[in-house]
Structure 1
């Protein structure tokens, strides 16, 4: 955590327009997820809490799960967010309280919209691939979508194309004239970039978006800054293009969106706007109300942890407290 550094605008190469905000390198930290999986948490952090409406970024693997159960996350609740799951390797079965039972494999996308409340579980099947590698992301829902109905969508095919020496897979939003089928509620971008050649690569960007770039594998360099595997480089706003160098075969995840201005209270699996909202969600989960029962999963639901003794405060996108 202490390795985070700010990168001043004068480090940009000649001829590159500076971003409106300095870049920040976020190395992340390890967090256990369920009994068998450890993830690298890139967002939220003290230095940066959101990229657009992306409010949570977990990168896991590549892990050898040949003789292990893989991912085992029992039923748990969500409010006020969307979960976006993307795999590079492996397989996970999503089950939720709407009755959906959906495997997800590499190249496919799961998007779950919690709205006012949903419960789900995520497990590797008993017979699963030997390696697990991917990301799970959260998107903060704006008013009034966060109070709406829950939903789930599985996208077996997504837009894919070659952009110079980049193979682009569009998860969310639009770029380069292509649009993802995934439904989101604020202007967002999520794209996997797979490097195919040694030449520097470029991708068009929107100046009103802020961006972050996650290295899932390989090596990358943006604006003279090296990006190690499992680190997230926050790129700020005001960019027309992404200019990067990376080793062939590297896989990168580009996240972006218009800055999300609504203050957030994030605690456990809940995203709200006030202490009272979080308290109510926790009480209803523990009482077995509001969130429903996860289909085809006999495991007992995860109990919510105890609330902190101090009042939960809303934070803005840069981490400052809001009244």
Structure 2
């Protein structure tokens, strides 16, 4: 697969407008990242996503503004605010909801990602991790302020516990300049621009990446020269990726798996309202799309 630029497609979730960046018809994944939604920014509003199931993936929520409350079938009730990390591992099955706190609508802006679990762990029991903002490495270097959310970057490591080579970092440019970035060429690498634009030059090629666009650089044996990146001040972006999973991943609605049979079983179990535990103090459920066709 060649270097490519992906433009997010407008859609909505729970009453919130968003750009769906991954999966895309030309780019199904960036390393283990198989799904990226860019929510907002929107004026104060209430997001209401009722309980729904997942298997075979980690969910990553990263907010720039606003607040959401995550509830899941493990009994977790966890508000998430800008700079904090919610990382839910679905494994063999979990149910969760996401809602704006009652009475406190705020401008909402953030990213939600799915990271496929490896075959060795996609049937593990569900787990949930939350890290406060002060637990994450946050530092300025050469005119960019970095926050390391998942994995490692520039010799800094996030304390989030992961079991597959994965990285997700936020950068904000502090002054107009040009920089060389430490591109891990043996991994899949994506640059997604949230606000502003970046000019990325590498291996004799130059791309302007605007807000709402993802530049995907596939892994190359032996690596590539470090990209040169130029930008004005105040550009917000994320770098994400990791080691590609060796097996293809299949999708059915909110389910991800390396085996289609796992998807079929999960779909049947959700429709029959068995296997998947409920979220405490939640009575709603989002039906599988096929239920609406009956």
Q: Decide: shared fold, TM above 0.5.
A: yes
Who is 1:152 aligned against? 128
Aligned partner of 2:196 among 206, 215, 218: 218
CA contact (8 A) 1:165 1:199 kept: yes
> What secondary structure sits across from 1:263 in the alignment?
coil
Deviation at 1:240, TM superposition (A): 4.9
Tell me the TM-score normalised to structure 1 length.
Answer: 0.84
Determine the structure 2 residue equivalent to 1:236.
218
Structure 2 unaligned residues grouped into runs of 5+: none
The separation in 1 between residues aligned to 2:121 and 2:3, in whole angstroms, is 31
**What is the RMSD computed on CA atoms of the aligned residues?**
1.6
Instruction: Within 5 Å, give how 1:146-295 maps onto structure 2.
Output: 146-156=122-132, 157-223=135-201, 224-237=206-219, 238-295=223-280
Deviates more, 1:252-261 or 1:123-132: 123-132
1:302 aligns with 2:293: no
2:187 & 2:224 partners in 1: Cα distance?
8
| CA deviations over 1:215-274 (Å, ceiling 9, x no partner) | 111121112311111111112222353421122111101012112221111110000133
Figure out how many residues of one structure are paired with residues of the other and give that number.
Answer: 283
Matching residue of 2:76: 100
Name the CA distance, whole Å, in 2 between partners of 1:193 and 1:148.
Answer: 33
Structure 1 79/130 Cα, relative in aligned 2: closer, same or farther at 3 Å?
Answer: same
Contact 1:217 1:251 in 2 (8 A): yes
User: Does the aligned pair in 1 maintain the 2:119–2:258 contact within 8 Å?
Assistant: no
Q: Check whether the contact 1:101–1:295 (CA below 8 A) recurs between aligned residues.
A: no
Question: What per-residue deviation string (whole Å, max 9, x for no partner) do you get for residues 12-31 of structure 1?
Answer: xxxxxxxxx63201002112
Specify the SS of the correspondent of 2:277: coil
Seen in structure 2, the aligned counterparts of structure 1 residues 225 and 270 have a Cα distance that, compared at 3 Å, is: same
Q: CA deviation at 1:129?
A: 5.3
